[in-house]
Amino acid sequence: MNAAKNLRWLLWIVLPLGFAGVWQLQRQIDVQRAAFGQEQDELVLRSAKVTKIASMEFAPLLADVYWTRAVQYYGNVELQQSKGLDLLWPLLDIATTLDPHLLPAYRFGAMFLAQRAPVGAGQPDKAVELIERGIRENPGYWRFYADLGYIYYFDLRDYTKASEAFLEGSKNPEALIWMKVMAAKIANQGDSAATSKFLWSEIYESTNDEMIKKNALDHLKLLKVQEDCEALDGLNEEFEKRTGHLAGRIRELVSAGLLKGMPSDPEGYEYVIGKDGLAELNPKSPLVETQAKLGRKL
């Protein structure tokens, strides 16, 4: 009995102390986390020019640090969903001011900035500013003109300026011939699925960055979906001419001899006909989520 009584008294003393210790530990963690966040904000919001002056001969090394932080910041999915990417531009601004010849920071940074949320920061104007700085600092690097053309074509829908960017870049003796071809193609056709497919393919082939590669591949898959659905809608119009009504299911087009088999999207899911009578992705296809994120307009 005495032993049990002593144990109860010991628990009454130890447990409150334990809870107090846990509370104090959590409080310290919260304080440290808040301090880290404040330190991070102060670090990235510091003037780029002041930072360059202060860094002196260590500027290129510090530029790499800021560029690495920009990549990590962009890759933080939870941050993108909760707070957006407001600090991305300051990070890139400082990185490229510290080292004006840090080519990846211009190229990939502009893509991070240009794409709309939640994929990117939704700041195409800042992306143009960044690339134009890259061109001024590195006039011999022709691919910056291609990057500028991508932004004007995909994000700003300014086909005149997109064509001008590709044409200007094509004047570089080292530029590939497709730069001049794209300048003419965009000038003549403006927005077209074939042009978009060519440009996204070039982006996919020209980068080793896995995030950018996946993004380009997602766009290429959706362009294939768009092409397939337009073809299926054309067949359904033919079906209507024959029968007097639109097909409600793809299988009706197969039975009518308009298709040899059930067509599938790039992920292997069969297309369906929606309530509006138009072909669309199967609701079970993972590309439905991709389409919602990137948008139908590609």
Q: Rounded to whole angstroms, what are the CA distances from 294 to 77, 127, 218, 224? A: 15, 18, 9, 14
Paired strand residues for 264: 270
Give mean pLDDT in consecutive 10-residue pieces for the chain, a chain of 298 residues. 54 50 47 46 52 60 87 71 77 93 95 86 96 97 96 94 96 93 88 86 85 89 95 96 95 95 96 95 96 70
Q: Are 253 and 236 in contact (CB under 8 A)?
A: yes
Cα 288 to Cα 84: distance, rounded to the nearest angstrom:
23
CB count, 10 Å around CB of 213?
Answer: 15
Which residues contact residue 248 at a Cβ distance below 8 angstroms, ignoring those fewer than 6 apart? 273
pLDDT at 12: 55
Q: What pLDDT score does 76 carry?
A: 77
pLDDT of residue 47: 59
pLDDT at 83: 61
CB 288 within 8 A of CB 245: no
What was the pLDDT predicted at 97?
92
pLDDT tens digits along 114-170? 988 877 889 999 999 999 999 999 999 999 999 999 999 999 999 999 999 999 999
Query: So what's the pLDDT on residue 267?
Result: 97
Encoded tokens for 76: 């933080």
Distance in angstroms (rounded) separating the CA atoms of residues 22 and 2: 30
pLDDT of 1 reads 53
Residues whose CB falls within 8 Å of the CB of residue 84, separated by 6 or more in sequence, listed in order: 117, 121
> pLDDT tens digits, residue range 6-34?
555 554 554 454 445 444 544 554 544 44
What residues contact 66, with CB distance under 8 A and at least 6 apart?
Answer: 44, 91, 92, 94, 95, 98
Cα separation, 116 vs 249, in Å, equals 34
The residue type found at 272 is V
Instruction: Give residue 1's identity as a one-letter amino acid code.
Output: M
Asked if omega into 263 is within 30° of 0 (cis), the reply is no
